[in-house]
Chains A and B, each alone.
Chain A
Amino acid sequence: MIDGLLVGAVYGLAAMGLSLIWGVMDVINLTHGAMIALGMFGMYLFFTATAANPYVLLLPILAIGLLLGILVYWMAVHWVLGRSQLMSLLSTFSVNMMVIGIGTALWSTSPYNVNFTLKGITVGAYTFTGNHIAAACSALIIALLLELFLYRTRMGRAIRAVADNREAAELMGISSTAVLAIAFGIGIALALGSGALVSTLFPFTILSGAIYQLKSFVVTVLAGLGKPLGALAAGVLLGLLEGAVTPFIAVSWIPLIEFGLFVVVLILFPRGIFGRATA
């Protein structure tokens, strides 16, 4: 159960990026999975090169994520913003394919590992691995920092203003393009960060991001758009749900339950259970 809670925090972090972008610019970012996978490889490359503490290496990875996000924004998102939502789906998906293609060419689909182990905590017969605990704490810290950013800084407020009403924000002198680019960058940075944390927990390949992308969709739809802490909470909820259900049924039914849930929630609450942050 506790394992579920810990992993759930990482699901939540992954979902925060998706939720932010969706909430701010109504773009469903289908590069999300590939970016999570890039985070995994980023951590692997930095770790094998420097053997530094992975949780410290998170910082450069987040920074790279921000820059990468801004780049992707200019490549694929900016030009399709006015058009139908489907165009942004397709354009972000095309970037996804390109990233996965390059990743496969560089690293093939053989599994990789980040060989770093923190001592765990043992309670009775069960041991909670140190890596899981550290990952969950990191996710929580990042989420709190994001919340602070959005509500206490000028840029954060600008982002929320653009999310609320883009035209009004521009009338007030906010350069919406710059704001959107940065918001997108933050969303991607969060994806890379969550991937980096996952890499310390399990083996991965360039294709591993896909399952986290799908979980991110479930979480985002549960939490509603544009609310980072809501996404974190919903992520933890999903993790707990997985943990609660697995003692009773075989592990292989989990994806079915999650995606069944996803489709049902979408049908019953076409705008997310808690509604959208903007009109």
Chain B
Amino acid sequence: MKRVKIAVLLICVFLVSSVVAQQKLVIGFTVSKTGALNVDSLEQYRGFELWRDQTNAAGGIKAGGKSYQIELVNYDDESNSKRVQQLYTRMILQDKADFLFSPYSSSLTATAAVVTEQYGKIMLTSGAAEGKTYTLGNHFLYQMFAPGAEYFKGALDMLKAKDPKATVAFVYEDASFSVSVVNPAKDYAKQIGFNVGFSEAYPPNTTDFSAIIDKVISSKATVLLGGGHYADGSTLARQLEGHKVPLKMITLLVAPDSPQWVELGDAGLGVIVPSQWEPQVAFKAQYGPSGADFAKAYTAKYNTPPSYESAGGYACGLILQRAIEQAGGTDTAKVSAALNATDIVTFYGRTRFATEANQHGLQVGHAMILAQWQKDKTGKLVKQVVWPLAAKSADLKYPIH
């Protein structure tokens, strides 16, 4: 009799433990492992990875009495929108992803959004600042990055304080992200009284900027704002240096935030980048790790400091995790409601989503930072925060030459 009781007890324990056993949460996204976006996309991917590793190590996401182990499913989209469509469809239909993260870049994200909306799945977007995607009438998109219209405002305000008579030139990639940044910036520049001497968009994948640089020189512009992503931004900076263009300030999108920027040497010195996050800016985190802890863990794992793409990626995971906890489960409608109600400060800054139908999911809580590459006392190139003034780690160097 005693043996039967032990057997029954063991069976009960076994049954109970399998009920409390780990559930799986599948999150799908594509990474641009190859193609022009590979540098920036990898940094975003590492943010996702670090979040997954830390959360799973702590027992997974705990909601509604269950705990979920995160499984990341990803494919190489080759920086190509057709692949994005095929792969997101595949992840939803065949890999049975519960939630999606975006690819890197506004254009690829807009493509992915079509698929996730068609199938009614929640997608958190990072690495995608363009605001137009959120005006198309979506239900399940959530943007982590501050929208494009914010990017150059700080740079222009800073410039106005230093040199209100500057002639401004815009040289930017003809793609959704850069266009969404430059168009509002042009209006703002004129509004605060700048002379916009020259403005031209170059086709994506341009490698020869000499014609456009010649035009910048003839326009006698002293300040240049623009760029796009790492490949074109770094090439543009190199060629500006090669042509010895006499600019007092250069602000480029995305590219200068990558740790790889140091490879440019002198061509990269003095360049400013509008950033979604920098390690020097310390927010008081109401949820998740502090900025210092995040940077430390990231550097320890990848031997390189985090860029704002990595921070955005990690923050995507954090915000989704919190929403699942608040919703008590992974049901799309409940998690969506939880995301709509989100208004919280993490190491990344404040996160709040617009909930009106005509701009659902647009990021309205997050503010931009400006960082500039300067030489430290040892002559090494380091990124310093120069704006907002309350958070700066060094003074703006103007002019740069």
Contacts and interface: CB of A to CB of B under 8 A. Distances in A.
A–B direct touch in complex (beta carbons closer than 8 A): yes
Interface of A: 3-4, 7, 108-111, 117, 120, 122, 125-127, 129, 201-204, 208, 242-243, 246-247, 250-252
A242 B206 CA distance: 15
Interface string B207-223: 11011101101100000
Nearest to A130: B242
Contact of B214 (A3, A109, A111, A202): A3
A108 B208 contact: no
A251 B202 contact: yes
8 contacts: A127-B244, A129-B242, A201-B208, A203-B235, A250-B200, A251-B203, A252-B174, A252-B202
Contacts of A204: 207
A134 B126 CA distance: 44
B179 to A, nearest CB: 13
Given A3-B210, A110-B35, A129-B242, 14 more contacts: A7-B208, A7-B210, A108-B35, A111-B36, A120-B243, A120-B244, A126-B243, A129-B243, A201-B208, A202-B235, A203-B207, A251-B203, A252-B174, A252-B203
Contacts of A3: 210-211, 214
B35 A125 contact: no
B189 interface: no
A126 B231 contact: no
Contact of A251 (B33, B200, B217): B200
A108 B231 CA distance: 14
B202 A243 contact: no
Nearest to B204: A252
A202 B215 contact: no
Contacts of B22: none
A203 B237 CA distance: 13
Q: 10 smallest A-B Cβ distances: which pairs?
A: A108-B34, A202-B207, A246-B211, A3-B210, A127-B244, A252-B203, A110-B38, A109-B35, A129-B242, A127-B243
Given A3-B210, A202-B207, A202-B235, A109 B36 contact: yes
Interface string B237-272: 000001110100000000000000000000000000
Nearest to A248: B215
A247 B244 contact: no
Contacts of B206: 251
Contacts of A4: 211
A112 to B, nearest CB: 10
Interface residues of B, number: 28
Contacts of B174: 252
A111 B217 contact: no
A120 B207 contact: no
Contacts of A243: 211
A122 B246 CA distance: 13
B231 A242 contact: no
Contacts of A122: 244
B384 interface: no
A109 B36 CA distance: 7
B117 interface: no
Contacts of B49: none
A204 B242 CA distance: 18
B208 to A, nearest CB: 5
Contacts of B200: 250-251
A235 to B, nearest CB: 15
Nearest to A202: B207
B321 interface: no
Nearest to A124: B217
A46 to B, nearest CB: 21
B78 interface: yes
Nearest to B78: A109
A117 B243 CA distance: 12
A202 B211 CA distance: 13
B372 interface: no
Contacts of B36: 109-111
A109 B217 CA distance: 32
Contact of B211 (A117, A120, A251): A251
B202 A247 contact: no
Interface in B31-65: 33-36, 38
B201 interface: yes
A202 B207 CA distance: 6
B220 to A, nearest CB: 9
B214 A203 contact: no
Contacts of B38: 108, 110
B218 A202 contact: no
A203 B243 CA distance: 16
Given A108-B34, A111-B36, A252-B201, A247 B208 contact: no
Contacts of A110: 34-36, 38
B234 to A, nearest CB: 8
